[in-house]
Amino acid sequence: MNIALKNPSLSGYEIPAYSPSGQECALFESAWLRQLPLLLKGPTGCGKTRFVAHMAAKLGLPLSTVSCHDDLAAADLTGRYLLKGGDTVWVDGPLTRAVREGGICYLDEIVEARKDVAVVLHPLTDDRRILPLERTGEVLEAPPGFMLVVSYNPGYQNLLKSLKPSTRQRFVAIEFDFLPRAREIAVVAEESGLDAARVAPLVDLAHRLRALKGHDLEEGVSTRLLVYCASLVDSGLSLRDAVIATMIEPLTDEPDVKAALIEVADAIVR
Amino acid sequence: MNIALKNPSLSGYEIPAYSPSGQECALFESAWLRQLPLLLKGPTGCGKTRFVAHMAAKLGLPLSTVSCHDDLAAADLTGRYLLKGGDTVWVDGPLTRAVREGGICYLDEIVEARKDVAVVLHPLTDDRRILPLERTGEVLEAPPGFMLVVSYNPGYQNLLKSLKPSTRQRFVAIEFDFLPRAREIAVVAEESGLDAARVAPLVDLAHRLRALKGHDLEEGVSTRLLVYCASLVDSGLSLRDAVIATMIEPLTDEPDVKAALIEVADAIVR
Amino acid sequence: MNIALKNPSLSGYEIPAYSPSGQECALFESAWLRQLPLLLKGPTGCGKTRFVAHMAAKLGLPLSTVSCHDDLAAADLTGRYLLKGGDTVWVDGPLTRAVREGGICYLDEIVEARKDVAVVLHPLTDDRRILPLERTGEVLEAPPGFMLVVSYNPGYQNLLKSLKPSTRQRFVAIEFDFLPRAREIAVVAEESGLDAARVAPLVDLAHRLRALKGHDLEEGVSTRLLVYCASLVDSGLSLRDAVIATMIEPLTDEPDVKAALIEVADAIVR
Amino acid sequence: MNIALKNPSLSGYEIPAYSPSGQECALFESAWLRQLPLLLKGPTGCGKTRFVAHMAAKLGLPLSTVSCHDDLAAADLTGRYLLKGGDTVWVDGPLTRAVREGGICYLDEIVEARKDVAVVLHPLTDDRRILPLERTGEVLEAPPGFMLVVSYNPGYQNLLKSLKPSTRQRFVAIEFDFLPRAREIAVVAEESGLDAARVAPLVDLAHRLRALKGHDLEEGVSTRLLVYCASLVDSGLSLRDAVIATMIEPLTDEPDVKAALIEVADAIVR
Amino acid sequence: MNIALKNPSLSGYEIPAYSPSGQECALFESAWLRQLPLLLKGPTGCGKTRFVAHMAAKLGLPLSTVSCHDDLAAADLTGRYLLKGGDTVWVDGPLTRAVREGGICYLDEIVEARKDVAVVLHPLTDDRRILPLERTGEVLEAPPGFMLVVSYNPGYQNLLKSLKPSTRQRFVAIEFDFLPRAREIAVVAEESGLDAARVAPLVDLAHRLRALKGHDLEEGVSTRLLVYCASLVDSGLSLRDAVIATMIEPLTDEPDVKAALIEVADAIVR
Amino acid sequence: MNIALKNPSLSGYEIPAYSPSGQECALFESAWLRQLPLLLKGPTGCGKTRFVAHMAAKLGLPLSTVSCHDDLAAADLTGRYLLKGGDTVWVDGPLTRAVREGGICYLDEIVEARKDVAVVLHPLTDDRRILPLERTGEVLEAPPGFMLVVSYNPGYQNLLKSLKPSTRQRFVAIEFDFLPRAREIAVVAEESGLDAARVAPLVDLAHRLRALKGHDLEEGVSTRLLVYCASLVDSGLSLRDAVIATMIEPLTDEPDVKAALIEVADAIVR
């Protein structure tokens, strides 16, 4: 995992830095080669979005990202009719554009979307690889250069929000986790500008806080928050103020939990 | 069941390969002959969609497939008024087109659709065989060449999502299941390009995992996932990586269940 | 009850065959004579729709049928404003057309409709016999030749879906049930083309399965499914395959129940 | 209470027959004189609607009736903008018309309407007697000749559907009940054409069935159903068939309850 | 409290009579002076609306009243786009008009409104005193002559319908209650025309019935109902008929409660 | 915290007074410098909105504030299509305008908004800093001068309304609380015009009432209410009337709680 300050989706000429932690790059390339759709699972801020940007740039493919949410419906992906000059004119959605033009369509946090979205993906994710547009009567055949990638955070999954087996079983799946200690120190140091020696105790604190996930905390500290913390320290804020503002306040509102976390932080970071 | 890489719904000139596992072809033809609607029941990825494509091609009938979902309403099937040049113009939906022109209209995962869809089918599925379009005042009589086929996965059925008896009792019904071992090995080998000897332990693993359905797993491994797995192996990925990415990660997010499945996999596939 | 292959609602020149099982024809005629609305109650596929078609033809009245569903609102019956050439133009719904022109308006499965539908019927079903169109400001007086008929299946009735007493008490009501054995054999033989001797055990099986309603089955086998079964046998399918496809699979998805039903079938039909 | 076959709301020249059972006519006139709004409470089919028609004709006032239902919103009463020739044009609803022109506006089953309806009535039912049209910015002052009458059936009242005290306390209220025996016999005989001697046991049966309300029956037999029953008998149907079709089937779907009611009927009517 | 027959909101030239029962007039004037928003709390029909009309007239301010209800949304207060001649044109809502032109905007029963209404009030009720119109991009600054007044009945407050602390704490609040005995007798006598001696026992009865609030009655008798009762008596109706129609039937539908209330009434009023 | 009577968002030339109670100003500037989004947590009326106005003026940045509510959807922030002259024209929402033009976009009470709002913020709050407009197909890159600030009151947070970890972990977070005694007295005196000696007991009372939060009171007295109270006293109202109208009535409707609070007030303020 590797968080660069450059915006990967807007600069087509350089490959966003990413150092693989397993076989995820080989798996992505195999899936791409065999035209299989991909599902990325993993916690908040562990680098899934960056990984997709990295692979898209490496394979020379355009990337279109959609952040899914409660009100995202199939029509937001496929397109809808708009009024123009008194007529209703069809306007492609991001998925339809990607199917027409090829490239990767990345649906982030797919379980958040309305259920009709998942099912719209079905004919695109079996051997037919087609996108039927019911409203226009078109049936688009995905070109070889089209790939569908979706992601979600299993930690949130519940009865109401999960992928149905009939949807999940259409994807090759990869699980992501946080980086090992040395790698995470290097990444945070590079991203924030703070030297590695001062980053190390912050990463140690993050490991301690991640171990509390499921007990006092809903989710552990992400690498992103570590970068925030080191950045604030680098820009002159006191270590303690930075830790509280980035590694404790964003995790909880409970006074008791917060006091316990500050105690943990004071013991590790000083 | 037989999964070909060609797209059956777009190439009218060849019949998608399908080797029947029972009387389903004879039943389909009898239903077609007597103008009776058909209901296909069975688990995810066992070949229902392929079967319909096969029979449509064999009988020389056009096929129109609709993937049903939570927000699919009757009007999405029958049609709706759109604004054109200041007027509202009626535009046929896929069901209306199929009734006007003949051929098979296949509604995949019918229980997902909104309830008004099921009831719109009623006058089409009794001896009247008519489609009344309330909004336009038309009453369409289905031609002899029209056939309605619907499918669903009984494993999902629950109190909120099921077909009412008054709808179910309008269909001749066929239940589908996975292929027997030898047949599934042959199909996966042919679809993936991997030789049968290397496919065999994957199929054995699938049988073991399917036996866990209802206990630790919501749904067993589909033939589709087996084809994915063999394809990734065929393209050079290690056997273990491929098995985890296609036969374990897509089935569960529970760390305990996942560990148990990997143990099962390690014992069978090596 | 009598299921003919001809479409009764489209051919005005012949009366759909129907042999009454009680005083239902006399009751219908009396209600028609005294301008009283009629409510038909009874299980799925027992012939309510056919009965209405028969009486309409017999009395020489046009018949307009509406299948009610969850999203059917009052405006679907009375009419709505549509955009035409920049203006909003009122378009009559099926109920309004029937009130203007006379004839029978038949609302099938009335309890499925949205509640505003039931109440729209109120001024039509008391001595006023008027249909106020709030949106246009019109008040239509039903002509003597107008009759309202509604139906529902009491087996489905629950707390959420039932007719309010203030609606029910506006109708003369008739209960329907399945035909006696000899009559049902004759009907199925005639409809399917299979000879009565081969139909008889199928009817016996249906009687056995109907007795299970409320225990293992939500609803018993309809006469329609019997006709399906005999038709498939008549077209060459094996008796057992036909029975499973039409009298067992459409009734249940439960493996245990299904096995028990097949045992019952094997004992009676061979 | 008195049910005539003539349509009171369409024929302005005769007063619909109504024989008062208490001080309801005097109360209505006093409320009218002092410009107070009126609330009528009572069971299904006991004559509330007829009473309003009678009083409107007696006082020489135009009458506008709205049957309330689940989807009736304030805008259905006050009016809404419609598109005409490219412009949005305001069209008055029935309440606004009544306020502009004077006369009685009768909202039947007010508790069924959406809650915004009740509150729209507030400024009309206190000493301001105004109807503010928020959408147009108008504030209409009700003329002395305007009167608001609403009704509901307390038997249905539940937590979800009831008038808030702040609404109820704006009305003078009258409770209605069924007619005493002799009066009901006379009314049914006159309405149906059947002679009083044959009507008497029907009324006796109705009294017995009304006593079961709250126990086995949700609502007792209305006078309207008695008129239906006598009408069918008068047109030649057997007494027992008519009783079942009008006084038992419309009341219940429960086989046990139905059997018990038939026993009661057989004991009283023969 | 004081209920006059004149319509205070339509006649700008006279001040609606109101005799204060505490410091409410001084409080209103202080809040007005310091540009603070005001919240009025109190039971149904105790004179909150009249109080606002009185103060508006006294301070020479235009008054705009909105009765809130379940479907009242922010856009109903701020304004919305309407189609005119093919364009969408912005039309101010009553709150926006009041902010533009100054004067009192009174939102009656604010807790009934949809929640977005309460939050739209926030920037108007802190020191910013602005109304941002998100849809048009305007930010209106309230002139010194603008004052916001809201009211609700705490008796209805429940978990679903209450003002959030972040909304409540933006208002100066006054609680209202019914008038003391002598004052209420005087007011009812003046409003109804009935002499005070005959009004006195009615007020005594009201006090008795108000004491039952929370036990058998959801809400006590309002002063408005007392005026209704005295008015009907004054126009010739018997005392008992008037009491039942105005002080008992509007309060309850329960036969037991009603019988008990009539007993109370018979003991006090005769 | 510091509440000025001038409107900070409308007068660009002066900096709204604000005296920091901790490192919040330094933290804000660091976050601004490193282009990190900011989350402000704290109780009602403790000065979060004022703090943002102060920092915006200090840094010379335009400020756009959106009060979030239950019906605020992503499209209210990003923009929507409107009809103009027969065409649909895209109109930017406040967030899109801020991204295009730079400056601070402040979303007040973010947890109140619909969930799609939170997720729309994701691509703006990671290293991409982009705002994809799905409906128009644009991808806006935030300029260095853009900063996103959100706030909420943890006291309201519940299961239904909270920020998901994947959203929270995208923000640097600061917690706010009420001012210490001496500082609050100074602020209230300055804001109201009442001298500090008379303000002191009011602040003491507020501290007492804040201690009851969570027991009898949902929320403690805000500094805003203290300013209201002192303002009313300054304009001549009696101390007790002012305290009841601003520090007791706005907090509770429970007669028991109110009586207890008045007792507390009478002991402290006299």
Q: How confident is the model at residue A177 (pLDDT cuts 50, 70, 90)?
A: confident
Q: Looking at E133, E157, E175, which one is the last position of a domain?
A: E175
Please report, as a single letter, which amino acid is at residue A145: G
Dist CA F123 CA B235 (whole Å) = 35
CB contact under 8 A, D245 and C27: yes
Chain F hits for E165, Cβ within 8 Å:
44, 155, 218-219, 251
What is the mean pLDDT of the segment spanning F145-159?
Answer: 78
pLDDT in tens, D176-194: 988 889 989 998 999 899 9
Least CB–CB distance from A33: residue in B155, B235, B249: B235
Say what the pLDDT of residue B89 is. 80
CB contact under 8 A, F130 and A228: no
Q: Is the CB of residue C72 less than 8 Å from the CB of residue B116? A: yes
Distances (CA, A) of C223 to A243, B30, B88, C178, E268: 74, 19, 43, 8, 69
- Chosen for mutation from D126, D151, D169 (greatest number of chain E CBs closer than 10 Å) is D169
Residues F155 and F186 in one domain: no
For residue F123, give how far its alpha carbon lies from the nearest alpha carbon of chain E (Å): 23
CB contact under 8 A, E9 and D130: yes
Q: How confident is the model at residue A7 (pLDDT cuts 50, 70, 90)?
A: very low
| C24: three-class secondary structure by DSSP | helix
Considering only CA atoms, which of A68, A149, A74 is closest in space to residue A109?
A68
The answer on pLDDT for E89 being more than 90 is no
The answer on pLDDT for C6 being more than 70 is no
Dist CA A181 CA A188 (whole Å) = 11
Q: Is the CB of residue D3 less than 8 Å from the CB of residue D223? A: yes
The answer on pLDDT for B193 being more than 50 is yes
Dihedral of CA A247/A251/A252/A256: which sign? negative
Residues F163 and F53 in one domain: yes
Chain A hits for F214, Cβ within 8 Å:
none
CB contact under 8 A, F23 and A241: yes
Say what the pLDDT of residue E72 is. 78
Percent of chain E scoring above 90 in pLDDT = 46
Q: Is the CB of residue D52 less than 8 Å from the CB of residue D38? A: no
Please tell me which chains touch B, using 3 or more CB pairs under 8 Å as the contact test.
A, C
Least CB–CB distance from B241: residue in A27, A115, A128: A27
Q: Would you say residue B3 lies in a domain?
A: no
- Chosen for mutation from B90, B212, B235 (greatest number of chain A CBs closer than 10 Å) is B235
Say what the pLDDT of residue D265 is. 93
Please tell me which chains touch A, using 3 or more CB pairs under 8 Å as the contact test.
B, F
The answer on pLDDT for E98 being more than 70 is yes
The answer on pLDDT for D44 being more than 90 is no
CB contact under 8 A, D82 and C86: no
pLDDT averaged over every residue in chain C: 84
For residue F38, give how far its alpha carbon lies from the nearest alpha carbon of chain A (Å): 9
pLDDT in tens, F164-211: 777 888 999 999 988 889 989 998 999 899 999 999 999 999 999 988
What is the mean pLDDT of the segment spanning F226-253?
Answer: 92
State the pairing for strand pair A87-92/A79-84. antiparallel
CB contact under 8 A, C132 and D67: yes
pLDDT averaged over every residue in chain F: 84
Say what the pLDDT of residue D5 is. 31
Q: Looking at E133, E150, E175, which one is the last position of a domain?
A: E175
Q: What's the length of chain E?
A: 270
Residue E45: closest CA among chain D residues belongs to which residue?
Answer: D166
For residue A188, give how far its alpha carbon lies from the nearest alpha carbon of chain B (Å): 28
Considering only CA atoms, which of D19, C4, F245, C253 is closest in space to residue E168?
F245
Element (H, E) at A138: strand A138-141
Based on its alpha-carbon atoms, the radius of gyration of chain E, rounded to whole angstroms, reads 21
- Chosen for mutation from B88, B237, B240, B247 (greatest number of chain A CBs closer than 10 Å) is B237
For residue D34, give how far its alpha carbon lies from the nearest alpha carbon of chain C (Å): 29
Residues B162 and B186 in one domain: no
Residues D195 and D163 in one domain: no
Q: Which residues pair with B66 in a beta bridge?
A: B107
Say what the pLDDT of residue D13 is. 47
Q: Would you say residue A135 lies in a domain?
A: yes
Say what the pLDDT of residue E13 is. 47
Q: Is the CB of residue B160 less than 8 Å from the CB of residue B113? A: no
Please tell me which chains touch E, using 3 or more CB pairs under 8 Å as the contact test.
D, F
Element (H, E) at A205: helix A196-210
pLDDT in tens, E239-249: 999 999 999 99
Residues E214 and E145 in one domain: no
Considering only CA atoms, which of B212, B177, B215, B181 is closest in space to residue B196?
B181
Q: Would you say residue B199 lies in a domain?
A: yes
CB contact under 8 A, B5 and A173: no
Dist CA C16 CA C9 (whole Å) = 9
Residue F123: closest CA among chain A residues belongs to which residue?
Answer: A67
Q: Would you say residue F7 lies in a domain?
A: no
| Number of domains comprising chain D | 2
Chain D hits for E222, Cβ within 8 Å:
169
Please report, as a single letter, which amino acid is at residue E178: F
Residues A128 and A233 in one domain: no
Chain F hits for A108, Cβ within 8 Å:
122
Q: How confident is the model at residue D214 (pLDDT cuts 50, 70, 90)?
A: low
- Average the pLDDT over each of B16-25, B190-199, E182-191, F177-186 and give the range with the smallest value: B16-25
Percent of chain F scoring above 90 in pLDDT = 46
Of B254 and C266, the one with more pLDDT: C266
Least CB–CB distance from D245: residue in C33, C116, C174: C174
Residues B171 and B229 in one domain: no
Residue C33: closest CA among chain D residues belongs to which residue?
Answer: D235
The answer on pLDDT for C253 being more than 60 is yes
Dist CA D175 CA E241 (whole Å) = 12
User: Locate tokens 């869809």: which residue?
Assistant: B117
Say what the pLDDT of residue A84 is. 63
Chain F hits for E164, Cβ within 8 Å:
156
Listed ranges B151-160, D172-181, F12-21; the one with the highest mean pLDDT: D172-181
CB contact under 8 A, E67 and D120: yes
Say what the pLDDT of residue E184 is. 92
Residue F137: closest CA among chain A residues belongs to which residue?
Answer: A94
Least CB–CB distance from D71: residue in C73, C83, C86: C73
CA angle C175, C176, C177 (to 5 degrees): 130
Non-local (6+) Cβ contacts of B104 within 8 A are B52, B55, B56, B61, B62, B63, B64, B98, B147, B148, B149
User: Locate tokens 């206190």: which residue?
Assistant: D126
Please tell me which chains touch C, using 3 or more CB pairs under 8 Å as the contact test.
B, D
Of A60 and E89, the one with more pLDDT: A60
Considering only CA atoms, which of E108, E28, E98, E17 is closest in space to residue E66?
E108
Of D156 and D119, the one with more pLDDT: D119
- Average the pLDDT over each of A216-220, B225-229, E233-237 and give the range with the smallest value: A216-220
Q: How confident is the model at residue D85 (pLDDT cuts 50, 70, 90)?
A: low
Q: Looking at D122, D147, D175, which one is the last position of a domain?
A: D175
Percent of chain B scoring above 90 in pLDDT = 46
Say what the pLDDT of residue C7 is. 36
Dist CA C204 CA C243 (whole Å) = 12
Q: Which residues pair with C131 in a beta bridge?
A: C140
What is the mean pLDDT of the segment spanning C96-102?
Answer: 94
Which CATH number fits the domain that encloses residue C114? 3.40.50.300
Describe chain B by its helix, strand, coil percentages, rounded to 5.
45, 20, 40
Dist CA E68 CA F3 (whole Å) = 31
* Structural domain boundaries enclosing E237: 181-267
Residues F50 and F82 in one domain: yes
Considering only CA atoms, which of D63, D92, D169 is closest in space to residue D125?
D169
For residue E125, give how far its alpha carbon lies from the nearest alpha carbon of chain D (Å): 23
Non-local (6+) Cβ contacts of E19 within 8 A are E1, E2, E183
Q: Would you say residue F1 lies in a domain?
A: no
Q: Would you say residue D16 lies in a domain?
A: no
pLDDT averaged over every residue in chain A: 84
Say what the pLDDT of residue E227 is. 94
Least CB–CB distance from C71: residue in B26, B73, B173: B73
Dist CA B261 CA B51 (whole Å) = 31
Non-local (6+) Cβ contacts of B255 within 8 A are none
pTM: 0.66
- Chosen for mutation from F191, F228, F244, F258 (greatest number of chain E CBs closer than 10 Å) is F228
**Left if phi > 0, otherwise alpha if psi is -120 to 50, otherwise beta: which for F158?**
beta
Chain D hits for C164, Cβ within 8 Å:
156
Q: Would you say residue B146 lies in a domain?
A: yes
For residue C193, give how far its alpha carbon lies from the nearest alpha carbon of chain D (Å): 36
* Number of CB pairs, chain D paired with chain E, less than 8 A apart: 131
Q: Would you say residue C6 lies in a domain?
A: no
Percent of chain D scoring above 90 in pLDDT = 46
Chain D hits for C137, Cβ within 8 Å:
94, 97
Considering only CA atoms, which of B150, B56, B141, B146 is closest in space to residue B112?
B150
Residues D56 and D163 in one domain: yes
Say what the pLDDT of residue D68 is. 83
- Phi first, then psi: give them for residue D255, nearest 5 degrees: -55, -40
The b-or-e profile of E28-67 (16+ CB within 10 A means b, else e) is bbbbbebbbbbbbbbbbbbbbbbbbbbbbbebebebbbbb
Least CB–CB distance from C9: residue in B87, B130, B165: B130
Residues B76 and B198 in one domain: no
Half-sphere exposure (Cβ direction) of C29: Cα atoms closer than 13 Å: 12
Chain E hits for D127, Cβ within 8 Å:
3-5, 7
Dist CA F102 CA F141 (whole Å) = 11
CB contact under 8 A, E10 and D141: yes
CB contact under 8 A, B132 and C241: no
The answer on pLDDT for F101 being more than 70 is yes
Residues B133 and B256 in one domain: no
- Phi first, then psi: give them for residue A89, nearest 5 degrees: -115, 135
Residues D42 and D109 in one domain: yes
Chain C hits for B41, Cβ within 8 Å:
249, 253
